[in-house]
Amino acid sequence: MTTQRELKRLIRERAARTGESYTTARRHVLAHAGRSGPSPVPGYPRFGGGLHHESTLLAHLLEQAGHVAPHTGRPYTETTLCGLAGGIGFLYAVFEYRGLPAPLVTVVAQHHPQPWLPAALDRLGIGYRTEHGRAAVALRTVDQPMHCLVSRADLPWNSDVTALAADPYPVVVVARDGGDLLVDDEAPEPRRVPEETFRSAWSAYRKGRNQRILIDPPAGAPDLATAMRAAVTTTARHLTGPVLGNAFDVNMGLSGMARLAAQLRDRRGRSGWTRRFAALGALPFAALRLYECLELRYTAPAATRPLYAGYLDEAATVLGDVRLTEAAVEFRRSGARWAELAEHALAVAGEAGRRIEERLFQQMTGAGPDPEPESGEVPPADHDEFLVAAADLVDEALAAETRAAALLLP
């Protein structure tokens, strides 16, 4: 079973062998994980192999339930499902909590706030059941794979010290084997976990406590063209217009990108990154958060843009709309800029950013002492250089996505 430590080793080895950056090497390693050999669970698709966690889980669920994509006659791919769920979005916000030494940067690059799996299934018209009830009863016999939202922090294989119980994390319970459950979660083989341990993680995420989604068998061919068009239109409208219908919309879509670029450049204002992250260790921590949000957290690599571009190429063929192919070119261009920004951010973060992150989240969860000052702070001159370069990259991505969104709107 591939652990996070083994994954990092594979990435470092590829980067050393090919000369690729860490982020690029990671993308390639993930893309090829788990794509050979039979499934370790009979009747369930091969584990691993995905770039986007939620779309890969949904692809596995649909394949196991017997659903095939009408335009290929083969199982749905994560590319198709990523686009049908909405694909991309953008949220930028900075949260400040009393008693913590550094503000918390948050970027969500995938489409939101619609729940991912229901959004794709509703557009396709594929039936599913959302059930609630006692965990012990639900797990006594696992008759079919169940999509569950859990607390990642309470999964025994979790190596992310910053995972919080309040953050929803999807996994699929594939089968039961004696007193253990076999769980699909970003590994070439199923994760084996005692039932009691999984029940604790399932209950710890309170908003989704003991919730499970089960996919119905096929009941007719979906109207893929209508589903694809509806998904594209929703994505474009949420990039260009209101999403929530309240004041927070300024942080979302193209507006959120413009806001990020402006605050990166702002040298004097209280919301500018120069003043907001002036404390020792604050900017490396902010840079690390930026990297993670563009490459790792609730996203596919490069802010999900390359994966979404692949969906637009598919949709262009199904819908006979060349504008979608032109938009895909723009999203690949913006994806390259987001990936470059992630690389710069990771370099600035260094070990200082990682140490601050670990200590800050320990403080937030009450699991450790208050964060201590860091000695590995990046010099102010390097701060300025990073902030200027970062703002330029965001502006370039924004320009490409503005052109793309205009091509996607009806």
Query: Which residues of 152-269 form beta strands (DSSP E)?
Result: 168-177, 180-184, 191-194, 212-215
Q: Over range 127-133, report the average pLDDT.
A: 93
Mean pLDDT comparison of 128-137, 213-222, 344-353, 355-364, highest-scoring range: 213-222
How far is 326 from 407, CA to CA, in rounded Å? 8
Structure tokens at 270: 């209280």
pLDDT at 149: 94
H or E stretch covering 393 = helix 380-408
With a pLDDT cut of 70, the percent of the chain lying above it is 83
3-state secondary structure of 370: coil
Is residue 383 predicted with pLDDT exceeding 70? yes
Q: Over range 58-87, report the average pLDDT.
A: 97
3-state secondary structure of 126: coil
Sign of the alpha-carbon dihedral angle for 350, 157, 28, 338: negative
* pLDDT tens, residue by residue, 167-210: 889 999 999 999 999 999 988 789 999 999 999 999 988 888 89
Q: What 8-state DSSP symbol labels residue 22?
A: H
pLDDT at 213: 97
Q: Where do the structural domains in the chain lie, given as residue ranges?
A: 1-25, 65-124+221-408
DSSP β-ladder status, 128-131 and 104-110: unpaired
Is residue 341 predicted with pLDDT exceeding 80? yes
Q: For residue 19, count CB atoms less than 10 angstroms from its CB and return exposed for 0-12, middle for 13-18, buried for 19 or more.
A: exposed
Phi and psi dihedrals of 147, rounded to 5? Answer: -85, 125
pLDDT class of 102 with cuts at 50, 70, 90: confident
How far is 251 from 270, CA to CA, in rounded Å? 17
The distance of Cα 324 from the centroid of its chain, to the nearest Å, equals 23
* pLDDT tens, residue by residue, 203-255: 988 888 899 999 999 999 999 999 999 999 999 999 999 999 999 999 999 99
Q: What share of the chain is helix, strand, coil (3-state, %, to 5)?
A: 55, 10, 35
The answer to whether 291 touches 349, Cβ cutoff 8 Å, is: yes
The answer to whether 167 touches 208, Cβ cutoff 8 Å, is: no
**Regarding predicted confidence, which is higher, 231 or 384?**
231
**DSSP string of 229-240, one letter each residue:** HHHHHHHHHHHH
Q: Over range 264-290, report the average pLDDT.
A: 91
Range with the poorest average pLDDT among 136-145, 150-159, 162-171, 390-399: 162-171
The answer to whether 400 touches 337, Cβ cutoff 8 Å, is: yes
Range with the poorest average pLDDT among 20-24, 383-387, 388-392: 20-24
pLDDT at 46: 81
Is residue 157 predicted with pLDDT exceeding 90? no
pTM of the model: 0.89
Range with the poorest average pLDDT among 74-83, 147-156, 331-340: 147-156
Structure tokens at 40: 């370790």
- What CA–CA distances, in Å, run from 119 to 107, 139, 228, 278, 306? 21, 26, 12, 41, 20
Q: Over range 111-127, report the average pLDDT.
A: 97
Residue located via tokens 């994954």: 7
* CB-based burial, 79-117: b 16+ in 10 Å, e otherwise: bbbbbbbbbbbbbbbbeeeeebbbbbbbbbbbbbebbbb
Is residue 147 predicted with pLDDT exceeding 50? yes
pLDDT at 335: 96
Mean pLDDT comparison of 2-11, 86-95, 162-171, 347-356, highest-scoring range: 86-95
pLDDT at 374: 45
pLDDT class of 20 with cuts at 50, 70, 90: low
pLDDT class of 33 with cuts at 50, 70, 90: low
With a pLDDT cut of 90, the percent of the chain lying above it is 63
* pLDDT tens, residue by residue, 1-18: 345 566 667 777 777 666
Residue located via tokens 């499970």: 212
3-state secondary structure of 19: coil
CA–CA–CA angle 316, 401, 55 (5° rounding): 60
